[in-house]
Structure 1
Amino acid sequence: MNTTCKNCNTSFTGNYCPECGQTADTHKLNHHFVWHDIQHGLFHYDKGIVHAAKELYTRPGHFIREYIEGKRVKHFKPISLLLILASISGFLAYKYQIKLLNLDTSTDISNGLLTIEELNHWVTTHYAWIILFTVPIRAFTTYIIFRKQGYNYYEHIVLAAYLASQRLLLSIAVFPIDYWLKDTALLPIFLQYNSLIEICLSIWGHTQFFNRLPKGKVIALSILSWVFFLAIMTLCLLLILNILNYKI
């Protein structure tokens, strides 16, 4: 039996339109459709965030390498995943007044264009874009350090995006602790330990991703790439604060 595609009007047989790929079975929009869409988006095995989270915390490097090699049906797209998780993390920080910038409130900002509070507010409201901005820089550092492994710069962007998502998943998971410590002197200490754990997770991902190299060498190169990245980000931060006229 022929079906007329409701998207492009092509007549076809089968489950999917050969021209545009739309499914032949288009249900009326109702509560069943909405619930199925929620389940598919969050929990469906081949595209869900839950599946991506599981893979990033059990076999991150292998998961990322499979995507780069073309096995993409079971993978949530890296940039989409990153933006969703960054938006959730930024919303939580904004909603519950968690300071994402670890700047001393006693800093001399008399000549600054913004106060520390205003700067923190700006960071939390633009957090997804800030995280997205760091991905090309992180990719550049691993591309330079691991340049002999045959991956191009854009493949390193995929690597950086997935590993940034891994770190965001951790940040979201420990958010209750951030909230509990937010008005105490322990929060900066906790954030430092959390950052160290995030770096260790990233190094673990690198050891799986660059599996043709000895693990010891990958660990050393990964640490070097982190030093390179932190140096670039420090320079960027100093430049921004200089533009805003902050005195640190």
Structure 2
Amino acid sequence: MQHNECLNCGTTIVGKYCSNCGQKTDTHRITFKHFLAHEMLHGVWHLEKGILFTVKEALTRPGYAALDYIAGKRFRYYNMFYLMLLVLALILFAAHHTESKEAFDEAVLDDDDNYQKLVQFIDTYIKPILFTLVPLLAINSYVLYRRLKLNFLEHVIISGFTSLAMFVTALVAIAITVKYHPVTDFISDLLFWVMLLFPILAYYQVSASKYKFWGFAWRLVLFYLLLILEIISIISFFTIVFLL
């Protein structure tokens, strides 16, 4: 049913969508058939479409996708930070059902009460701990890739796409691990190494037009060194807090 005024905000309508709030002008009475065929299936399809597109872009062209997003081409993308939280939740679920989690618990959860507190803290706050990868990548790229002339939050977008690709790869690596199956273990280990290569891909795509090969190479080496030092510092801090 077409209306001359938006039923949501009352604005005069020209076209298929309200220019003020974006609601469709063609509304339907809610019936069981319409709810099942349109509201449910249509909504689920578009949700999956946005998620799958965002994951595909993050895995294949994280740097270019980030630049597109920064430039304002955002309609087709699902919110990457919500998506990262979803992927992290799936990683934790998968990790709690693998042999590696059981082996870790047996190796660490001994009679030392301090170790138990540290592991309990990590298990409780693993999401924000892993999420610190995003600002760490952003800080390093903001310092090293100044020719991009992007502000810090725009570097956060780049690190967000990069981190999403890393998290999705880690999820696949954990999910395919089968107990006592050497083939899946090999593929899983390979995927973890692939995961570490996404910053190279992302920042090459972002900065290839701004830096020559050696300029990109030394920045990349320094980028990883800084990231390693930052991660070691964070781990050391929590170790000192809980074990000393």
CA 1:207–1:181: 2 relative to 1, 3 Å: farther
Structure 1, unmatched stretches of 5+, are: none
Q: Is the 8 A contact 2:117 2:242 kept in 1?
A: no
Q: Which residue of 2 aligns with 1:49?
A: 51
CA deviations on 1:174-231 (whole Å, 9 max, x unpaired) are 223334369x9x97x9876544321212201211111222244324322321220121
Say which one has the larger Rg. 2
Q: How does 1:196-215 map to 2 (within 5 A)?
A: 196-212=193-209, 213-215=211-213
SS at match of 2:107: coil
Normalized per residue, which structure has more helix?
2
Alignment of structure 1 residues 142-221 onto 2, 5 Å? 142-180=141-179, 193-212=190-209, 213-221=211-219
Alignment of 1:62-211 (within 5 A): 62-94=64-96, 96=98, 99=101, 105=107, 110-112=112-114, 114=116, 118-119=120-121, 121-123=123-125, 126-127=126-127, 129-180=128-179, 193-211=190-208
Query: Root-mean-square deviation (CA), in Å?
Result: 3.3
Determine if contact 1:93/1:100 at 8 Å carries over to the other structure: no
Q: Which residue of 1 aligns with 2:45?
A: 39
CA distance in 1, matches of 2:75, 2:152: 22
Specify whether residues 196 and 17 from structure 1 end up closer, same or farther in structure 2 by C-alpha distance, changes over 3 A only. Answer: same
Q: What is the number of residues matched between the two proteins? A: 236
Consecutive unaligned residues of structure 2, counting only runs of 5 or more, are none
Normalized against structure 1, the TM-score is what?
A: 0.79
Contact 1:203 1:219 in 2 (8 A): no
TM-score by length of 2: 0.80
* Secondary structure of 1:51's aligned partner: helix
- Cross-structure match for 2:60: 58
**What residue identity is the alignment partner of 1:94?**
H
Among all aligned residue pairs of Structure 1 and Structure 2, give the percentage whose two residues are the same amino acid: 20
